[in-house]
Amino acid sequence: MKAWRQFFAIWRLTVVELARDPLCVLLTATAMILTVLVPPIVSFQLGEETRMARDGALAFQLVFGLLLAGLAASSTLNRELREGTAAGIFCFGVPRGVFFLAKFAGVATMVGWFVWCLILSTVISIRTAPRYFETDFFTLNLFILALALAPLGAAGLNFFARRPFWSSVLLLLGALLPLPLVGAAFRPSGESWGLPLPLDWQTLPANLLVAEALLVLTALCMMLAARLDGLRTMAAAGVIVALGLMADYWLSGLQGHPIAHRLVSLLPNWQHFWMADALSGGGRVPWAYVLQAAGYAGLLSAGFLGIGAALFAAREV
CB 17 within 8 A of CB 78: no
Residues 6 or more apart whose Cβ sits within 8 Å of residue 286: 205
In the chain, where the domains are located:
2-313
Q: At what angle do helices 178-186 and 96-128 cross, to 10 degrees?
A: 30
Indicate the pTM of the whole model: 0.91
Amino acid at 119: I
Tell me how far CA of residue 89 lies from CA of 14, 85, 129, in angstroms.
Answer: 13, 6, 50
Query: Quick one: pLDDT at residue 160?
Result: 94
Query: Quick one: pLDDT at residue 126?
Result: 86
Instruction: Tell me how far the alpha carbon of residue 21 is from its chain's centroid.
Output: 16
CA separation for the pair 35, 56 (Å, rounded): 7
Query: Quick one: pLDDT at residue 292?
Result: 95
Instruction: Tell me how far the alpha carbon of residue 214 is from its chain's centroid.
Output: 6
CA separation for the pair 218, 225 (Å, rounded): 10
Per DSSP, which regions of 71-114 are E strands? none
Residue numbers of the chain with a pLDDT score lower than 70: 1, 42-48, 131-134, 187-198, 248-265, 317
pLDDT tens by residue, 67-108: 999 999 988 888 888 887 888 888 888 889 999 999 999 999
pLDDT tens by residue, 153-193: 999 999 999 999 999 999 999 999 998 888 777 765 444 44
CA separation for the pair 140, 142 (Å, rounded): 5
Query: Quick one: pLDDT at residue 190?
Result: 46
Question: Three-class SS of residue 257?
Answer: coil
Residues 6 or more apart whose Cβ sits within 8 Å of residue 122: 35, 53, 54, 57, 58, 61, 203, 207
